Structure 1
Amino acid sequence: MDKKIILLVFSLLNSVLLFGQPEVEQWKVFEVSLKGPADGNPFVDVKLTGQFVWESDTVTVSGFYDGDGIYRIRFMPHKVGEWKYSTSSNIKKLDRKKGSFSCLPATGSNHGPVAVKDTFYFAYADGTPHHSFGTTCYAWVHQGDSLAELTLKTLSEGYFNKMRMCIFPKSYDWNNNEPLYYPFEGTPLKNWDYSRFNPNYFQNIEKRIVQLDSLGIEADLIIFHPYDRWGFAHLSREVEDRYIEYIIARFSAYKNVWWSMANEYDFMRDKTLNDWEHYIDKFASTDPFHRLIGIHNGVRIYDHTNPKLTHASIQNEDTYRAKELRLKFKKPVVYDECRYEGNIPWSWGNLTGESLTLKFWRGVTNGGYVGHGDTYVTEQPIGFPNESSDVLWWSKGGVLRGTSPERIKFLRGILEQAPPQMKPVPLFTWMPFSCIGVAGEYYLGYLNDAQPRSMVIDLPKDAFFQVEVIDTWNMTITPLQKKFTGHSLIELPAKPYMALRITKTEQ
């Protein structure tokens, strides 16, 4: 055969192979699905890993059993180009399977996973700042599709970019219904086979993780919590380790996943600090994608100096202490719970919208991040069969009833337009007013619930600044006509909840 014809044939074959090669976008999920044994106990008996190679970069990922004889390996490619993979297993049918795929550049709103940047801040993998504005919906994934879809519709309004949510079902006030599925095979309420997971349960959760990601929302997954009537808060170390390994294999490839070791770790009385250190170590050593790791407290704040904890997750209403805690722990400080807006009898859930909005501004202008919750009980059901007015956002999702979310969204917009990585800076001649900014360039200060007619601020003497008065409640921004420099007297409208945005400008 003519040499030119041979080269042409090889070229055409190569084009066909390349055209048929699977493709996935950078930081999204590539999945290997394999058919294997369904007899015995595949959750315990079968070992499966995948090795993914890009040039000299190799990542090893654990596979998992997904029921009906299906095994999956999930991988998040972090580099553009061709990746090759091969499997290893103690089952011949699953062993030494090979393939490749092409990783394409990220597009649109795909900024990659969030990580810590420069000690005190969060940023996506492409460098875009992540200003964490979270909310809590503990058991929303365990409700029906209709209520979950309403929750997602509410979230699509752009108030929040992080959701705290439990993996295990929750039993507590306004959380008395049974979940759609249970995490283990067996019979409710406590007759479980802890050696066998229920794939339907975890498929439902990962469906919600993907839906949150489509809205640009991080899924802060709570691993353990004390609010339980099924026995899931009291597992053996062997079962806990198997559970942790399973959820890492299933969920960690999704770029929007965070790990929270507990909701209120110190209320789980049969677990010791050594137990919590074990869990933290387990996630840090097992997760191939190194997702963010936190642990949330009830009363006793955890020692977040542990270097394997990526950020400090705090339950405390004193959000103004963020400036102090970020220096103590030397990592981002997230007030995931600072009390909630609502009207329930419990003191942690009956703040006014003004009070919660104030906590957000005080936390942010002291260098921290703050989370939201909505705990309103009303006389009006939200319109779903067998559901009543006790469908609280904080528990089951649905609709937001409070007045703070629009104000939180307003603050989020201001931060997303501001310089990245602002830090606490001195501005006011009298505290407790707080301020973050870039010294000499940009300041964002908050006046709490004070209502001064005027106040003095000290700006650099070698430049001029534009001052804007922000009404954080009515969500207005009013620029002052005069330019300011040095020791300056600012006229104010004598209303509470004012903030100042000050930017360097020409004279």
Structure 2
Amino acid sequence: MQIESQNVERWNRVEISLDGPQIGNPFLEVSLKAEFTFKEREISVRGFYDGNGVYKIRFMPDEPGQWSFKTRSNQIELDNLKGNFNCIDASGINHGPVKVSNSTHFAYADGNPFYPFGTTSYVWNHQTEELQKETILSLNESPFNKIRMCVFPKYYEYNTAEPALYPYVGEQKRLYSGTFDFTDWMVKESDFNFVRFNPQFFQKLEQQIDTLQTLGIEVDLILFHPYDHWGFASMGKENDLRYLKYIIARLGSFRNIWWSMANEYDLMDLAQQKKKDEWDDLIQCVEDEDSYQHPISIHNWHNPPIHAMDNSHWYDHKKENISHVSIQHDNLFFVPKWHETYKKPIMIDECRYEGNLNNGWGNMSAKKMVQQFWEGVCRGAYVTHGETYLNENNIVWWSHGGKLIGESPERIGFLRKIIEEGEPKRLTPLGAESSHWEVAAGISNDSFVLVYFGDSQPTFKVLEFLPEGVEFHGELIDTWNMTIIPLEKAITNKTVIELPGQPYIALKLLKN
């Protein structure tokens, strides 16, 4: 028996490596768990087969001190093995896993606030090694601290190449012209063996997630999606559950993991891949298997008419085993209503993408993308970026990664700096939350107020929603040109504030 380290930082991984049987199908025939004990606490985690006769158990300790463990298995050589390790204090950027905080926000386990400023690059992890390295360099230079990415490869417009590795043993034997065809999503048979995982695939995925962790990036890992011609979207419930147990055994101890049950889950029903009523059991499986209770949600495809509030076609985010609302919508006016309905963090994980595609979802201007982020913050939500500019190689960030070429990331970083500097902020909408044209947010003690005017261009404003008798000093922010100008006079709820009469202006107010 080998233990990766006898001294493990709080919220880092302990990895126990064991030699065991290779005969038969170890993924099916060998059960392995371990009980980790700290004082009166006992936490059970599932082990997994990592190929070549090696079995592993991973654990993320959350309290400093001496821990012990004991294995349980149906194989005598893996059963009743005991050991211990010492958990030491966290250091550096290790703040622990992210959890829901103050009902509608997020914080790291050590209490530091986490403000998601995320991006989407669905299958960057399935690209060439050269392109993966370029993606990591781009992320390292970007303002993004969260990324949405898939486990399974993707078959969709601009995404018809086969990946180098597959998650299951088998071969892709069908021949495709490289032209995208929605009918391929209806595949009912597969050449892959859904009871034999490919450990090499998951080892690579783990390296990619660990690399993102070193950059301080949370990974919103999409467990299922409909864009499939391999059969991974229609494996059947038994295989789906086995896959969830396996991937959580491998990745649950990674502190920067979030679980996204699916991207556009309702499209999987239309594609005859997975019925809507199957999701309850799949989500329950994740909750049961994940000893660390990472954030978990599920993402929609269909939306109601722009002014409708009937979201009955969405998965019911009010359910207790859903930590936050992950939605596709480009009208942020409804955010306060969603807060009222769900009483959970609102993640606008797709608000369209900055780009120039033919598709309506992929040709938003950079100015509109930046506007979505500012409006989201001021309405109390968190918005996710995406970029869909075509180039001669058809390398599109939204799916492949590579280089970020749009104008919005730098300006999103400007906003992130404003939100993160100073005291922790738990922004909630103020008096302008009912307005389509301007939005304001503040923290509970009224010491910080942020007002955003979007594409409106007033020449003066009176902020009547400010608390009576409270005086502020302020700054005028040009959110596009990224300039900040101090305001000369004190501001109350009766002050006439002169404004430049141009769009994309904001005000930051601090209580005197």
TM-score, scaled relative to structure 2: 0.91
- What SS is found at the alignment partner of 1:432? coil
Rounded to whole Å, the distance in 1 between the matches of 2:73 and 2:474 is: 64
Contact 2:378 2:427 in 1 (8 A): no
366-375 vs 420-429, greater mean Cα deviation: 420-429
> Would you say the 8 A contact 2:168–2:196 is kept in 1?
yes
Q: Deviations over 1:308-349 (max 9, x none)?
A: 100000101012322111111110000000000000110000
Shift of 1:485: 2.2
1:26 equivalent in alignment to 2:10? yes
What one-letter code is carried by the residue in structure 2 that aligns with 1:323? P
Percentage of matched positions with identical amino acids: 46
Instruction: Find the counterpart in structure 1 of residue 416 from structure 2.
Output: 412
Corresponding residue SS for 2:72: strand
Residue in structure 2 matched with residue 204 of structure 1 by the alignment: 204
Equivalent in the alignment of 2:159 = 175
Paired letter, 1:391: I
Within 5 Å, give how 1:119-138 maps onto structure 2: 119-138=103-122
Residue 504 of structure 2 corresponds to residue 500 of structure 1: no
Partners of 1:486 and 1:373 in 2: CA distance: 37
Alpha-carbon distance, 1:21 to partner: 7.2
Distance 1:429 1:258, change over 3 A: closer
User: Secondary structure at the residue paired with 1:261?
Assistant: strand
- 243-252 or 454-463, larger mean C-alpha shift: 454-463
Is residue 2:372 matched to residue 1:359?
yes
* Cross-structure match for 1:473: 480
Q: How far, CA to CA, are the matches of 2:483 and 2:414 in structure 1? A: 9
| Residue of structure 2 aligned with 1:79, choices 49, 63, 84 | 63
Aligned to 2:281: 278
Change (3 A) 1:21 1:273: closer
1:61 and 2:61 are equivalent in the alignment: no
Q: Secondary structure at the match of 2:131?
A: helix
Determine the C-alpha separation between the residues in 2 that align with 1:430 and 1:289. Answer: 40
Q: Aligned partners of 2:448, 2:225: CA distance in 1, in Å?
A: 42
Q: In the aligned structure 2, how far is the partner of 1:428 from the partner of 1:196?
A: 52
Partner of 1:425: 430
| Residue 346 (structure 2) pairs with residue 337 (structure 1) | no
Does residue 299 of structure 2 align to residue 292 of structure 1? no
Taking the aligned partners of 2:172 and 2:59, their CA distance within structure 1 comes to 34
Tell me the distance in 2 between the aligned counterparts of 1:262 and 1:21: 35
Aligned length: 477
The reply on whether 1:96 has 2:109 as its aligned counterpart is no
CA 319–39 in structure 1, closer or farther in 2 if over 3 Å, else same: same
1:118 alignment partner in structure 2: 102
Equivalent position amino acid for 2:110 in 1 = D
- What does residue 135 of structure 2 align with? 151
For 1:230-269, what aligned pairs fall within 5 Å after superposition? Answer: 230-269=230-269
Q: CA deviation at 1:285?
A: 1.4
- Any idea what SS the aligned residue of 2:27 has? helix
- 2:456 match: 450
Q: Which secondary structure does the structure 2 equivalent of 1:487 belong to?
A: coil
Equivalent residue in structure 1 for 2:447, among 417, 441, 445: 441
| Secondary structure at 1:152 match in 2 | helix
RMSD: 1.5
Distance 1:32 1:362, change over 3 A: same
Q: Which amino acid aligns with 1:449?
A: D
User: What is the CA–CA distance in structure 2 between the aligned matches of 1:479 and 1:288, rounded to whole Å?
Assistant: 49
Among 349, 366, 380, which residue is 2:362 paired with? Answer: 349
Contact 1:26–1:105 (8 Å) recurs in 2: yes
Q: Does 2:89 match 1:105?
A: yes
Q: Measure how far apart 1:173 and its partner are.
A: 1.2
Contact 1:428–1:457, Cα closer than 8 Å, also in 2: no
The whole-number CA distance in structure 2 between the counterparts of 1:38 and 1:491 is 75
- Aligned-partner Cα distance in 2 for 1:178–1:429: 48
User: Match of 1:396?
Assistant: 400
CA deviations 1:291-316 (Å, max 9, x no partner) are 11100000143221111100000101
Contact 2:437 2:456 in 1 (8 A): no
Judged with a 3 Å threshold, the aligned counterparts in structure 2 of structure 1 residues 431 and 336 are, in CA distance, closer, same or farther, namely closer
Rounded Cα–Cα distance in structure 2 between residues aligned with 1:427 and 1:224: 38
